[in-house]
Structure 1
Amino acid sequence: MREPARSDTDVLSGYRTPGGLVLDKVIGHLDAHCRQFIEHSPFATLATADAEGWPDVSPRGGDPGFVHVLDEQRLALPDRPGNNRVDGLRNLAANPRAALLFFVPGVEQTLRVFGTTAIVGPDDLGVDLTEFGRAPLSVLVLTVRRAYFQCPKSVMRSGLWDPARRLEPGVLTPFGRVLKDHCALETDLPDDATIRADLAQEL
């Protein structure tokens, strides 16, 4: 006979209490180490939630340092041309709390930054945010509440930067076919090389 399902609280009680370093590493600003990491990061994920609490996470990328450190309390994340869904920005207009997770290729540590946000115009900060020859459509300014470096175990387990784990071309279904199926299209879309070349014109 199966045992009754345990509650969330019961399951969580099985975790050991975090050690001092795990708790003490959380700071309320961007120190020199955080700034150095962000200046070398070409990729981050942006986590938001709407007014009802439904979450969203989206990728953000650019040249290393594409997220600008304005000072020890503020980051500026330019919004580049994309698919115009702007789900994250719409969420932040209703619920201005956000989190960023920064990655640096080849580095197993990641950096987590949490704070409150404001969406401003591309010229409102007096900072040149041009990248790939284009000005951003808007800028997300995040005021830092918490920042800390994440334990590297998840990246170590994944082998994220291990060249031997890279998929060979052709293993996954071509993206054009994926879009055709998801959108229930009757006609084929261009091959992936053509799709990528078209996207490259819009960076």
Structure 2
Amino acid sequence: MSPIFKDSIQSEEQLRELLGYPSPLVMKKTINYLDEHCKSFIERSPMLFISTADRLGSCDVSPRGDQSGFVHILGDKHLVIPERPGNRRLDSILNILENPNIGILFVIPQLEETLRINGIATVIKDKAILERMKAFDKEPLVAIGVEVEECYIHCAKAFKRSRLWQPDSWLSSEHLPNAAKILAAHTASHEDDIAASLKETYEKRLY
């Protein structure tokens, strides 16, 4: 425990005393399969975030995005997320090889509620599945297959507080963080070289 944090919660009893218990509706909302509503949500989602951990419990959260419908649904208990080209760190994939537990958050632009799915993940290279996930004539080399264990809608409070989908809350472009500048600082590189590399990657290596 960090010495910076001097007054911490040590038990669920302490936590419940402060924050209370979920309502009966919240306790009932979890299902263990993909019903028609969950499938419809996934089919409309162009962005998701996956949470994984290695065998020691070190965690990682990573975004996955594509055209709506890019996640392939297999019946009521399984879905498949294509692994498009990235930076080859493979953090999520390597974690899954050590610890198959996965959490997924599906997001739809303008909608403030999200869909949460927890389950067991497998790194697959099943040709019959991968060829159905082709984009711009390029087939993913691997994908993340997920067996659904929990599925539920998450309320909109975080999005309402952040006003994420409200354009009047967005920063102007000149006040946004500069990825090339950050990467240059972290890697002791030249900002112009990093900017050119990012531009080439985004324009030519999305798939």
TM score, norm. by length of structure 2: 0.89
Query: Residue 3 of structure 2 corresponds to which residue in structure 1?
Result: none
Query: Residue 9 of structure 2 corresponds to which residue in structure 1?
Result: 7
Evaluate the alpha carbon distance shift between residue 202 and residue 21 of structure 1 in structure 2; reply closer, same or farther with a 3 A threshold.
same
Q: Residue type of the partner of 1:23? A: M
Indicate conservation of the 8 Å contact 2:42/2:106, yes or no: yes
What are the residue-to-residue correspondences of 1:119-138 with 2, within 5 Å? 119-121=123-125, 123-125=127-129, 128-138=132-142
Deviations 1:66-110 (A, max 9, x none): 111111100000100000001010000010110110000010110
Evaluate the alpha carbon distance shift between residue 19 and residue 111 of structure 1 in structure 2; reply closer, same or farther with a 3 A threshold.
same
Distance (Å, rounded) in 2 between the aligned partners of 1:108 and 1:156:
7
How far is 1:169 from its partner?
A: 1.2
Percent identity between the two aligned chains: 34
Distance (Å, rounded) in 1 between the aligned partners of 2:120 and 2:156:
26
Greater helix fraction, Structure 1 or Structure 2: 2
Distance (Å, rounded) in 2 between the aligned partners of 1:166 and 1:101:
22
Residue 204 of structure 2 corresponds to residue 201 of structure 1? yes
Query: Residue 88 of structure 1 corresponds to which residue in structure 2?
Result: 92
Residue 191 of structure 2 corresponds to residue 188 of structure 1? yes
Q: Residue type of the partner of 2:72? A: H
Q: Which moved more, 1:73-82 or 1:122-131?
A: 122-131
Deviations 1:22-79 (A, max 9, x none): 0101000000000000000000001000000111000000000111111110000010
Distance (Å, rounded) in 1 between the aligned partners of 2:104 and 2:204:
27
Distance (Å, rounded) in 1 between the aligned partners of 2:52 and 2:177:
30
Residue 53 of structure 2 corresponds to residue 49 of structure 1? yes
Indicate conservation of the 8 Å contact 1:42/1:66, yes or no: yes
Distance (Å, rounded) in 2 between the aligned partners of 1:179 and 1:153:
33
Q: Which moved more, 1:30-39 or 1:191-200?
A: 191-200
5+ residue gaps, structure 2, are 1-5
Q: Which moved more, 1:62-71 or 1:6-15?
A: 6-15
Query: Residue 18 of structure 1 corresponds to which residue in structure 2?
Result: 22
Give secondary structure in 2 for the equivalent of 1:125. Answer: helix
How far is 1:192 from its partner?
A: 4.9
Residue 150 of structure 2 corresponds to residue 146 of structure 1? yes
Distance (Å, rounded) in 1 between the aligned partners of 2:39 and 2:146:
14
Distance (Å, rounded) in 1 between the aligned partners of 2:182 and 2:7:
38
5+ residue gaps, structure 1, are none
Query: Residue 28 of structure 1 corresponds to which residue in structure 2?
Result: 32
Query: Residue 104 of structure 2 corresponds to which residue in structure 1?
Result: 100
Give secondary structure in 2 for the equivalent of 1:51. Answer: coil
Give secondary structure in 1 for the equivalent of 2:132. Answer: coil
Evaluate the alpha carbon distance shift between residue 174 and residue 105 of structure 1 in structure 2; reply closer, same or farther with a 3 A threshold.
same
Give the total of aligned pairs.
Answer: 199
